[in-house]
Every structure is written in structure tokens, then in C-alpha cells.
Amino acid sequence: MVAVWGGAVVAVINARKKGVAATTVRKISGLLTAASCSVLAADLQADSVSEATASGSDSAVNMTTATLKNKPNLGADEGLSSKADENSNWRVKTAVLSYSEEGRIQVNQALLKVTRESDSGSLQFKVDTDTVTGPSMSAAVSSSEVQTFSNPSGSLETVTAAGELPEWVIESHRRSSVSVNKEDILNSDYSINYGARYSYELSYKSKSITAGISRNFDRKNTQLSFSTLFEDAEVLPIGGVVKPGEKTIIRADYTDEADFKTAWNNLRTGDSERKRAYELVTGITQVINRDAIVQFNYSYGQVNGYQNDAIKLVSIIDANGNPEANVYENRPDHRERQSVYVHGKYSLAKNQVLDLSYRYYWDDWSINSHTVAAGWQFELGSNWTLEPQVRWYKQSSADFFQQSIFADGAVAVIPDYMSADYRLAATNNYTLGVNLDYKFDSGKALSMRLALYEINPEDDSSSKRGRLNGIDLTPTIRSTVFMMSYDF
């Protein structure tokens, strides 16, 4: 690795010594084929062939000609271009997103992305914020009687009707994040990228950094890449960090407020916990022929530290399937995750592109999953693009997923790890979506996306007793996603 970095640095120095023109040609060439840059918009085919023939098939010259011809389409604002670097331009992207679950969570998000692109790479700033409102499942089972819970902060009590699944109501939970990412194209073969991100919400603060390197081979038909991500997060559950496996309490169980507060505080260990995660991704992107390109990635990651969801409960039940009490969930503090991912693009015709991807994921919580996604992009005339999309996701359950603890009046045996969170259940999820893009003649672009997403978690049958056998504890969740973005 040291040799590679050393070589890259020497290459850059050499390139700089050769003068601006040669360096620019090589850098543009690198920019165009680096998989992380997708700035080309025009159909270059006819021009590329003729220019290549005239120039004796020199890759760099060919690509440079294409770039200069394409430049007006990049939406460059001449007024903002730096005098020192004539091929730089600024791009501004804004987007709004609405994610709405039927009868549950609603998320509204807004985003602003400013990117400076130049021959030597790119610099990107991103700011986004979202607000979550609506009911979120507590994962406790329903009861044939009315149930009362103290909300996570202990400030008020919520009542769940007989037969209803208990849920917490999130009044308004805001998350905001800022990030900066930079890519340096060192020469026609090497590029590096690095970035940092800070995300803030009342119950979660996260800092992360990323770094990566990619190397082109075989006249840029092959690209190898390696990237890393490290995240350091502080988890601050609303109402404090609860003791896993302890029973929840309500105000009515205590004669006065002071006793309740003491008991409430005794169920908590503090305000926050730490979580650290890292991920390594290595990949190869290969041009197959003039109409197809394939990417293959392998990723390995670990998450260490607090991974419980402090608002999720597991019910202790009796033989009839009614809850006797509820305890706070507990997940392992270590998770090792891996995945393989393949993504292909195939140009079916001059104005149609097929996009296919597959991921197999597995981790040491015994979860594995298959994800298949497909999109079929049609260019309708010179301005409109339509892309129907489908996605299928199948997941197995975590080995500690259980929706109840059977006690039936006896002292409950609390397992080391347990969670009834439907996100750890076996599930089959589907997404149907459509994208519609409009590219203005000025180079600006408007993009809209509508998708329907369905989550179908499966109950853990061994958790069921009595009446619970006839009850779906993890009903299907249907949501609508709408996104709109505009490129200035």
C-alpha cells in the first residue's frame, strides 16, 4: 500500500512538471472514466468515433474533444468559474423527499448539495434535514384488555385500547446533517476521495469519515477501488439509557411522584452510550463491451457498542397470550456484517438502458438477505427520461428475534439477547417505482420519483400462545415515497 501511495504521489509530481496542457488532457481523461464521476450528459458516440479516427485513436485526445464539446451541457456558470482553473464549474442541487407510512411514520426531508467540479476532481458540500412524526411500534404485544404505558421520557402515560398494538407517538423528531467530500484525480490512473459527515438528532449524534482510492487499468476498462468508512456515534435515548431486561413501570404503580421518579431513575444507567462502526469496501468495475459495464463489490464491516433501541419492548405473556409485563429489549454489542454486490448496466438500444443489481448480505446476528433491483430507462425525445423500477428484498430473522417471553405467572426467564423489533424479523419487501426526469435545454434538470414500498414482516410463531396465534403482531407496512430534485 505504501508503494502504491508513493507511486501515486510521484506520478502527480511528474504530471505537474509536464506543463498544463498535458496534465489537463490526462486529468480530463481520468475524470471522464472514474466511476465516481458521472458528469457526461451528451451522447458522444458519433463524435467520439470520428474524432478518434482523426486523432489516431489516442484515448486522451478523444476524450478531451468530447469534453469540450460537452461543456455547455455541464451547466457551468461562467461567472463562478475560477480563473486559475478554467475547467471548473459549480453545480447546485436541491431536493425534497416525503416518506409516508400508512397510519404510521411520516418523514419529510430537504437537501442541498453544492459541488465544484474541475479537471482535478470535485469538492462537494451537502446539508440535509428531516423531520419524523407519527406513531412508531413499541413491539409489545396487544392485550385483550386496555394497556397503559409511561412514554419513554416518563412525562405522560399512553393508553392502548384492547386488541391494539402498543405504539409510541413521535411528535416531531428532527435530524440534520452536514457533509463534505473531496475527490482528487491524481493522474489518469489514480484518484482518491475523502470526506467527513456530522449528523445530529436529539437521540443520536454521529461523526463519520470516509477515504478511498481507485486505480484504472487496461485503458480504463477496469477500475479497482478500495474505500473505508468509520463512524463514531453517541446514542442518547429519550428518557435515558434503559437497563435491558428490566420491566417497564407506570405512574399508577406508585403512591407518589417521588417514588415513581426514584424507580424510574433506577431503571436507567445514564444519558448516553457509544457506538463505533467501520466498513471496508473493495470493488472492481469492468467494461464488458461497448454496451455493458459491471461493478462487483465486497464489503466487510463491524459495529461495536450500544445497538439497542431503547423504545422497543418485549412482552412477558401468559398462557392466553396476554401480556403480564413488558421488558426493555437487548441486542448484542458486537455485529459483524458482510456483503457481496453486483451491479450491471446494459444499453439495450440507443435510448434504453437496463440497470440490474443484486446484493447478498450476511451477519453474525444470523441475518442474511437477498436484494434484487432492476430499472429500465427510456429516453423519450431529447428532454424526457422515464424509468420504471422494481426492487425485492428478502431477509431472514436475527437469532435473538422473539416477540414474547412465556412465563404464565411464574418468574420470567429473561434471555441474554432479545428483540421484537419487526426490522429484525424475517421479511419480504417490495418496491415499485417510477422516475421521470426532464432536462432543460440550458442543462438544468428536474427529476421526480414516486415509489410504493411494502414491508411484510413474519411473526415468530414460537413466541405465540393462546389468542396471539390468531393475531398478526407485525402487520404489513405500506408506504409512499415521493422525491423531487432540481439541478441548477
Q: Where in 58-117 is the site for another protein (CB under 8 A)?
A: 58-59, 62-63, 66, 93, 95, 97, 99, 105, 109, 111, 113
* Residues 230-259 contacting another protein, CB under 8 A: 231, 233, 235
CB of 475 to another protein, least distance (A): 14
Q: Based on CB atoms, which residue is closest to another protein, 36 or 120?
A: 36
Tell me the CA distances in angstroms from 20 to 185, 189, 300, 350, one per residue in order.
15, 18, 40, 36
**Amino acid sitting at position 55:** S
CB atoms within 10 A of CB 23: 19
* Residues 341-360 contacting another protein, CB under 8 A: 341, 343, 345, 347, 353, 355, 357, 359-360
Fill in the DSSP letter of residue 382.
T
Fill in the DSSP letter of residue 366.
S
Contact segment (CB under 8 A) with another protein among 36-44, 181-189, 250-258, 259-267 equals 36-44
* Residues 458-477 contacting another protein, CB under 8 A: 477
CB of 261 to another protein, least distance (A): 25
- Say whether residue 424 binds another protein (CB under 8 A): yes
Q: Based on CB atoms, which residue is closest to another protein, 118 or 208?
A: 208
Q: Based on CB atoms, which residue is closest to another protein, 183 or 324?
A: 183
CB of 465 to another protein, least distance (A): 26
Cβ atoms of 313 and 140 within 8 Å: the answer is: yes
Cα–Cα distance for residue pair 448/353, rounded to 1 Å: 18
Q: Based on CB atoms, which residue is closest to another protein, 203 or 251?
A: 203
| DSSP β-ladder status, 404-406 and 313-317 | parallel
The C-alpha cell that represents 191 in the structure block: 484518484
Binds another protein by CB under 8 A, chosen from 35, 92, 211, 325: 35
- Say whether residue 412 binds another protein (CB under 8 A): no
* Residues 158-187 contacting another protein, CB under 8 A: 170, 173, 175, 177
Binds another protein by CB under 8 A, chosen from 277, 314, 412, 468: 277
* Residues 207-226 contacting another protein, CB under 8 A: 208, 217-222
CB of 472 to another protein, least distance (A): 18
Cβ atoms of 415 and 398 within 8 Å: the answer is: no
Q: Which residues have C-beta within 8 Å of that of residue 89, sequence separation ≥ 6?
A: 74, 75, 76, 77, 80, 81, 116, 117, 118
CB atoms within 10 A of CB 462: 10
DSSP labels for 150-175?
Answer: E-TTSS-EEEE-TTPPPEEEEEEEEE
